[in-house]
């Protein structure tokens, strides 16, 4: 016999955002044997949870993702730029060259991080494969984490084309079908609900 229990601390946040049927779907799963087996794991760009890993030493905390959605999922944080060895603060980096296979270079000095990032991602994606992720939330407008519309520069420093951040692309290639979204597209109830439905569907297909 299952019980429908609102987690009291977030009830006031959830109700305006998620429909009751959807909400009950989150908390009732016939396959659920205990809280631990049902916990859904999402990868997320570290700066969105307030970690001070950005090039300027700051973060991009998203309160909704941390304090509301974070009550129902378990996050696995990843900052590919710090992960591959860049410091904080650091020079900004950008995509350069072929939008389908861009290089990752420092914006000013032009130092090329492509090979180092590639080697780190190979290792990191193997580790993430062991985490049983059901989705990933990326920071938008990042040459590493952005899912789309990231500026790609040519050899003369001009940009006219756009592409995908190198880490976001690697995640999507390694885990085809994994629901992925940028935080900028999770700013209204219907978008959040749609994303979480895809996450739950993926979770049920793969892990229950
Ligand atoms: S956008 Fe990605 S690479 Fe940039 S600080 Fe956030 S987690 Fe790190």
Residue 10 reports pLDDT greater than 60: no
pLDDT of residue 39: 82
Helices (H), 70-141: 80-83, 114-129
For the whole model, what pTM was predicted? 0.86
In the chain, what are the domain boundaries? 38-90+113-147+164-207
Percentage with pLDDT > 70 across the chain: 82
Can you read off the two tokens belonging to residue 201?
């569907």
Confidence of residue 38 (pLDDT cuts 50, 70, 90): low
How large a percentage of the chain has pLDDT more than 90?
A: 79
Closest approach atom of ligand 1 to CA 54: 5
- Cβ-count burial 170-193 (b if 16+ within 10 Å, e if not): bbbeebeebbbbbbebbeeeeebe
Residue 193 scores a pLDDT above 60 = yes
Chain centroid to CA 152: how far?
Answer: 21
For residue 146, which atom of ligand 1 is closest to its CA? 1
What pLDDT score was predicted for residue 84? 98
* DSSP H helical ranges for the chain: 8-17, 20-27, 35-38, 63, 80-83, 114-129, 166-174, 189-207
pLDDT in tens, 55-112: 999 999 999 999 999 999 999 999 999 999 999 999 999 999 999 999 999 999 999 9
pLDDT higher for 138 or 32?
Answer: 138
- Specify the pLDDT at position 208: 86
Q: Tell me the CATH number for domain 38-90+113-147+164-207.
A: 3.40.50
DSSP, collapsed to helix, strand or coil, labels residue 88 as coil
Ligand 1 atom with minimal separation from the 82 CA: 8
Ligand 1 centroid–CA 85 distance in Å is: 13
What's the Rg (C-alpha) of the chain? 18
Cα of 70 from ligand 1 centre, angstroms: 19
Question: Ligand 1: distance of its center to the CA of 124 in Å?
Answer: 15
Give CA torsion, residues 34, 36, 38, 42, to 10 deg: 170
Tell me the mean pLDDT in the region 163-187.
98
Does residue 145 line the site of ligand 1, with CB under 6 A?
Answer: yes
Contact 11, 103 (CB under 8 A): no
**Residues, the chain:** 208
Whether the CB-CB separation of 133 and 175 falls below 8 Å is answered with: yes
Per the CB < 8 A criterion, the answer to whether 157 and 95 are in contact is: no
User: Cα of 141 to ligand 1 centre, how many Å?
Assistant: 10
> Which atom of ligand 1 is nearest to 48's Cα?
6
Asked if residue 5 has pLDDT above 70, the reply is no
Pair 59, 50: CB distance under 8 Å: yes
The response to whether residue 80 sits with its C-beta less than 6 Å from ligand 1 reads yes
Please, which pLDDT band fits residue 154 given cuts at 50, 70 and 90? very high
């Amino acid at each position: 016999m299952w019980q429908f229990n609102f987690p009291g601390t977030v009830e006031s946040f959830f109700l305006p955002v998620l429909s009751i049927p959807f909400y009950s779907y989150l908390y009732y799963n016939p396959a659920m044997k205990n809280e631990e087996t049902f916990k859904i794991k999402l990868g997320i760009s570290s700066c969105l949870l307030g970690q001070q890993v950005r090039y300027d030493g700051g973060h991009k905390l998203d309160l909704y993702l941390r304090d509301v959605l974070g009550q129902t999922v378990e996050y696995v944080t990843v900052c590919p730029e710090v992960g591959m060895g860049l410091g904080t603060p650091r020079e900004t980096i950008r995509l350069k060259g072929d939008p389908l296979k861009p290089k990752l270079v420092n914006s000013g000095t032009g130092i090329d991080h492509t090979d180092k990032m590639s080697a780190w991602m190979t290792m990191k994606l193997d580790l993430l494969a062991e985490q049983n992720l059901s989705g990933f939330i990326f920071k938008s407008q990042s040459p590493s984490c952005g899912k789309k519309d990231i500026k790609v520069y040519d050899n003369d420093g001009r940009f006219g084309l756009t592409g995908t951040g190198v880490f976001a692309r690697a995640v999507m290639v390694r885990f085809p079908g994994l629901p992925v979204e940028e935080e900028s597209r999770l700013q209204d109830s219907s978008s959040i609900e749609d994303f979480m439905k895809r996450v739950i569907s993926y979770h049920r297909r793969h892990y229950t």
